[in-house]
């Protein structure tokens, strides 16, 4: 899509719009995990169900009010996250995706991911998700060790985790496993995760041969139970050794380490997350959902400037539904802000430098809207410290840069 020339060099200028994705947030879960800082809420009043119909109606109202901002653009990926989206029935997910297809230009080849908790797996239900159009599952395993699962507050055990993977592979096939390392000791006794236990988890995951694996170090995020009452964790050196060992074992098994925490078999990388890391655009609907959209601006003299806009919806599910279904559905937006010239370098690098193979230099001007000279000083400093390497075509973090990613990113905070 060819766009107009910039009105002023002070603002961004885009020669083409970036790829577009859709994120849908389903906020409910069976139980809130003590390490979780996502916008998730236990099911209302301890019930066994969630207000599926009302929430889907709110999602569609939220989507419709945003249509003018991305009208005519193709959505290439959909990610249904949470919370625990697999709490929804197969019919509810079918209705949700049918509503998206009726209102947007969703690519027939779109990657459609659903997050799932092993405690919610039923063969018939997940076959229904496949029939609804889900093409990829992301299963929150975290560990196969019952003691560590208990310490993490998970509702499933190792046997249920294995059964969930088997059902996921049998029904949908394209499966990602989320796992953690550097796990805590239980408050009721036991020890923090050892290197041997970490390796056992990795080998258990590899035994299933899923096309994608994500391994995260457990971190104590603000405003979580673990942050207020930290559990005993492996020390820093052991955690770093665990990360290296995880990466080594996955590499030996044929997985490509293509992002800080993501590993995939050749050709099986997560397209939705790649769009995030490539500073693409994403429409977001649902309680607490965060979105990013690029606006090209109008023709010369129109006064319509090009811009990148970030949005966040209200977090409480009941408040979100009330506002999205009111006479003013746009009121479900809690915050709307334009990314400034001073912020865009950091925001771009926060995503793109997670890619182990780096990013094309041209992406910065194409997707941030400014010449790469805007961040040349920070790039120079990071290169001098051995945190990244670059050519005229590519910027890539070194192994040192991957280990000290936050230190590198601080250089772009201007």
The single residue listed with the structure tokens 């590499």 is 251
Q: Could you give the percent of the chain with pLDDT greater than 70? A: 94
Question: Average pLDDT over the chain, rounded to whole?
Answer: 92
How many contiguous H segments (helices) and E segments (strands) does the chain have?
15, 17
Which pLDDT band holds residue 33 (cuts at 50, 70, 90)? confident
Q: Is 278 helix (H, G, I), strand (E, B) or coil?
A: coil
Rounded average pLDDT over 42-63: 84
Coil, helix or strand for 80?
strand
pLDDT at 44: 64
**What percent of the chain is predicted at pLDDT more than 90?**
82
pLDDT band at 300 (very low <50, low <70, confident <90, very high): low
Minimum mean pLDDT among 152-161, 182-191, 396-405: which range? 182-191
Strand partners, 337: 310
Each residue's pLDDT tens digit, 276-289? 999 999 999 999 99
Per-residue confidence (pLDDT) for residue 370, from 0 to 100: 96
8 by Cβ neighbours in 10 Å (0-12 / 13-18 / 19+) ranks as exposed
**Whole-angstrom Cα distance, residue 93 to residue 125?**
10
Please state, in angstroms and rounded to a whole number, the distance separating the CA atoms of residues 84 and 28. Answer: 6
Beta strands in 192-332 (DSSP E): 212-217, 256-259, 262-264, 281-285, 290-295, 307-313
Helix locations, 222-261, DSSP H: 225-228, 236-252
Poorest-pLDDT segment among 5-9, 112-116, 197-201: 5-9
Which structural domains are found in the chain, ordered by start? 20-274 (3.20.20.70), 341-414 (1.10.10.10)
- The position carrying tokens 């400014």 is 370
Tell me how far the alpha carbon of residue 384 is from its chain's centroid. Answer: 31
Q: What is the pLDDT of residue 6?
A: 42
Q: Which residues contact 6 (CB under 8 A, 6 or more apart)?
A: 12, 13, 297, 306
- Residue 298, pLDDT > 70, answer no
Tokens for 373, please give them.
Answer: 């000279």
Q: Name the E strands within 50-104.
A: 74-82
In this prediction, residue 5 carries a pLDDT of: 40
Per residue in 17-30, pLDDT (tens digit) is 999 999 999 999 88
Number of neighbouring beta carbons within 10 Å of residue 341: 14
pLDDT band at 45 (very low <50, low <70, confident <90, very high): low
pLDDT in tens, 321-330: 999 999 999 9
Residue-level pLDDT at 119: 85
Q: What is the mean pLDDT of residues 161-182?
A: 96
pLDDT value of residue 3: 46
- Assign residue 226 a region (left: φ > 0; alpha: ψ between -120 and 50; beta: otherwise): alpha
Cα angle vertex 19, ends 17, 135, to 5°? 160
On the question of pLDDT at 334 being above 80, the answer is yes
The yes-or-no verdict on residue 207 having pLDDT over 90 is: yes
Query: Once rounded to an integer, what is the mean pLDDT over residues 126-134?
Result: 97
What is the model's pLDDT at position 188? Answer: 63
Give backbone dihedrals phi and psi of 315, rounded to 5 degrees, phi first: -90, -40
- Both tokens of 172, joined, read 């949908």
- What gap in Å lies between CA 376 and CA 30, rounded to an integer? 47
Closest CA to 115 of 129, 104, 127, 102: 129
Closest by CA to 310, choosing from 351, 259, 260, is: 351
Burial of residue 179 (number of CB atoms within 10 Å: 0-12, 13-18, 19+) = buried
Q: What is the pTM of this model?
A: 0.93
Is residue 305 within 8 Å of residue 297, measured between CB atoms? yes
The pLDDT, as a whole number, for residue 303 is 66
Poorest-confidence range of 98-107, 140-149, 294-303, 351-360?
294-303
> Mind listing the pLDDT tens digit for each residue in 223-236?
888 888 888 899 99
């Amino acid at each position: 899509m060819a766009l107009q020339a910039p009105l002023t060099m002070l603002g961004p200028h885009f020669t083409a719009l970036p790829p577009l994705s859709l994120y849908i947030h389903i906020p409910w879960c069976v139980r809130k995990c003590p390490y979780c800082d996502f916008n998730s809420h236990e099911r209302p009043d301890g019930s066994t169900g969630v207000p599926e119909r009302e929430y889907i109606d709110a999602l569609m109202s939220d989507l419709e009010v945003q249509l003018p901002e991305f009208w005519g653009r193709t959505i290439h990926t959909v990610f249904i996250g949470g919370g625990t989206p697999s709490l929804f029935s197969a019919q509810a997910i079918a209705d949700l995706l049918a509503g998206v297809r009726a209102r947007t230009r969703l690519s027939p080849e779109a990657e459609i991911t659903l997050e799932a908790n092993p405690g919610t797996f039923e063969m018939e239900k997940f076959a229904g998700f496949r029939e609804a159009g889900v093409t990829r599952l992301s299963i929150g395993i975290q560990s196969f060790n019952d003691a560590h699962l208990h310490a993490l507050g998970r509702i499933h055990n190792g046997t249920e985790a294995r059964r969930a993977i088997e059902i996921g592979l049998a029904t949908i096939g394209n499966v990602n496993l989320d796992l953690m390392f550097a796990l805590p000791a239980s408050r009721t006794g036991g020890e923090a995760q050892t290197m041997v236990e970490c390796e056992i988890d990795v080998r258990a995951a590899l035994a299933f041969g899923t096309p994608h694996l994500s391994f995260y170090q457990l971190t104590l995020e603000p405003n979580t139970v673990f942050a207020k009452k930290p559990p005993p964790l492996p020390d820093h050196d052991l955690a770093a050794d665990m990360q290296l060992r995880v990466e080594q074992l996955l590499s030996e098994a044929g997985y490509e380490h293509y992002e800080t925490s993501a590993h995939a078999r050749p050709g099986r990388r997560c397209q939705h997350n790649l769009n995030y890391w490539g500073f693409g655009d994403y429409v977001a609907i649902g309680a607490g959902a965060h979105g990013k959209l690029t606006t090209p601006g109008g023709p010369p003299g129109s006064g319509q400037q090009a811009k990148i806009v970030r949005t966040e919806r209200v977090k409480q599910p009941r408040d979100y539904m009330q506002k999205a279904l009111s006479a003013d559905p746009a009121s479900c937006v809690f915050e709307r802000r334009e990314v400034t010239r001073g912020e865009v370098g950091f925001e771009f690098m926060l995503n793109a430098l997670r890619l182990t193979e780096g990013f094309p230099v041209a992406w910065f001007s194409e997707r941030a809207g400014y010449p790469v000279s805007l961040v040349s000083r920070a790039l120079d400093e990071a290169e001098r410290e051995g945190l990244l390497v670059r050519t005229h075509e590519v910027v890539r973090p070194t192994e040192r840069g991957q280990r000290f990613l936050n230190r590198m990113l601080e250089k772009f905070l201007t």
